[in-house]
Amino acid sequence: MAKRKLKKNNTYHSSSVASVKPKSQKEMAQTEKSATFALAAVALVVAVCVAPLAAEISSSDIHHHKHLSLKMDEAQLTVNNELSYEVQVSWMSQRCYQCLYQQLGVVPAGLGPGQPSSVNFVVSTQHEITVQINSTPIELELCKIPFHFGEHGNYSLWVKTLNASFGVNCSVVTDKDPVNSYIPILVAFLIYALLALVFAIGKKVWGLDAVRGLVLRLGSSMETERLINSELGPTRVVPPVTDNILPPPLTSSKRLRSLDTFRGISLVIMVFVNYGGGRYWFFRHESWNGLTVADLVFPWFVFIMGTSIALSINALLRAGATRCSLLRKAVWRSLQLFIIGVLVINPNYCQGALAWENLRIPGVLQRLAWSYLVVACLDLLVARGQLDVITVDAWWSPAIDFLLYWPAWLCVILLEVLWLFLTFLLPVPDCPTGYLGPGGIGDMGLYVNCTGGAAGFIDRLLLGEKHMYQNPSSRVIYATRIPYDPEGVLGSINSILMAFLGLQAGKIILHYRERPKSIMSRFLIWGLSLGVISAFLTKCSTDRGFIPVNKNLWSLSYVTTLACFAFVLLMLVYYIVDVNKWWSGAPFYYPGMNSILVYVGHEVFEDYFPFRWRMSNSQSHAEHLIQNLVATSCWVIISYLLYKKKIFWKI
């Protein structure tokens, strides 16, 4: 959303009201190993050396008021009241749907003509807000101004009486221009883009026969000279330089690099946002309805897990494994994931040693465990070890990847019916049936303790409030008061659907494995179909649809929307990486090959150097961004080193 920039004394935003009005409501061939390592290392060094781009807050003598100490995403607003009575200043975020105004404070009456009383306030700059001025003690709306304040900017809001009437005029003037807090993102993007360009050019240059021959001759000459100088006697066979650079020969059981690349993309972004994402709001989870970058990656990880299930079970069945043995492996793997999630990376460690009284039971790995177990069982129910005997000449062959597995689809549909029933028909005490809102100050504060409706109620009933997530994202904008877990029980049903849609992508790859164009067209068809479903469920709006896109609820529209994106993104990565081989998938391919280790490791070592250090200015987006990029780059380098040593942690 573009910020309004207003120049002092000549540009302002005003709002006038002729008479008093009542309140109103508003909301991607493996790449060369050594070259890749050098690329990642250079990226890390450059990221460390980037100087923080922070702006200093200078003092201003406007009205001789002392300026407040501002943090990230804050601005100063000075309200100047020339009226003969005091006024109350309130605010509401435009991302807050049907919310109550929150009070900023009271400004006393003016001292006389041309002698306004002034009070300084700190306001949020993440989103556009609406400032409301009311009279006191009778709360009557005098004026209302929507405005997007800039970070560390200073603004004045003047409240005056119109000359020819009893109406009130309100205008906002920019006293000090805000800083551009997005410059560090641009700088980081340009650095990584430049490194990628250098790497691409280097790869092309290395592919030239003249360059490669020169390197080989230089290497051979250096080795001969070393042997002569050291008087080692007969020469020994030295592996050519290319052994460490060229990819291994292709095998019949070639692994699709696009799948690991897709998984790595999801994982790298997940690590980055978990480390803080530079403290930018769009790298944090949305407070309630809607999407940010942080809301995309977990469903994609669940999706590609489902795809891997289809390929893995098919390969094992073709190798002669029994369904019972595969079922035992699935149960054991799910149990390990669940235990690691509860006992190793539980967020309650922030409060000290774990104790049952406040142990959070749901979590990311716990949901992965549950989704993996259910989808693996469904696939074992219908999976076929030999697919070559299936005809593709029948009239129903275009839907072969769907119709052959109708029992599993029936189970998933029944699960979705259960989700719909519980969400919209389960009575929740003191809350409207079918409520999907955030509670708190949302919905005009009528349902303060109804956060999540049936989803929150079921978690509190089955788990208890002390075993749930205590700091949900809904507190940021909606000021909710009760615990709510975004990885709760009811949302797990839709995570199964997400993994099953990924399983469907795996079935497409299996049935059309010799026809890449068919695979890509099927991916596009699925993506388009799911997009249409999402448009219907949401009415193409954030808050006004039948089922809004909501990460906290893992709503049906959230799953269909993210699955739509996943099919399209997987198609693009498959086309670029496996079909045309324009890209090896590096560097995302490497963490994608060691996903569990990277995820668990980034959680366990989050507070250790070099993943975190004491910053000189904790209120700088630039310093946070540098720290988070360095930490994420470290895990990419670690995953590359583990890949080079052929170390993979599998559960």
Q: Where are the alpha helices (DSSP H) in 86-241?
A: 183-206, 209-230
Closest to 478 (Cα-Cα) out of 291, 295, 289, 279: 289
In sequence order, what DSSP letters do the residues of 349-417 get, joined into one string? GGGSS--GGG-----HHHHHHHHHHHHHHHHHHH--S--TTS-S-STTGGGHHHHTTHHHHHHHHHHHH
Hey, what amino acid is at 237?
Answer: V
Rg of the chain over Cα atoms, rounded to whole angstroms, equals 29
Contact predicate 119/79, CB 8 Å = yes
Q: Walk across the sheet containing 154-161 and list its strands.
A: 12-17, 168-176, 154-161, 74-81, 117-124
CA 579 to chain CA centroid, nearest Å: 28
- Concerning whether 511 is annotated as a catalytic residue, the answer is no
Q: Where are the alpha helices (DSSP H) in 393-490?
A: 400-403, 406-425, 454-462, 474-478
Contact predicate 650/76, CB 8 Å = no
**Triad 67, 73, 78: Cα angle to 5°:** 35
Name the catalytic one among 65, 127, 152, 285: 285
Closest to 603 (Cα-Cα) out of 372, 348, 334, 361: 348
Closest to 142 (Cα-Cα) out of 62, 79, 77: 79
What CA–CA distances, in Å, run from 495 to 97, 330, 452?
26, 17, 17
Q: Which residues are catalytic?
A: 285
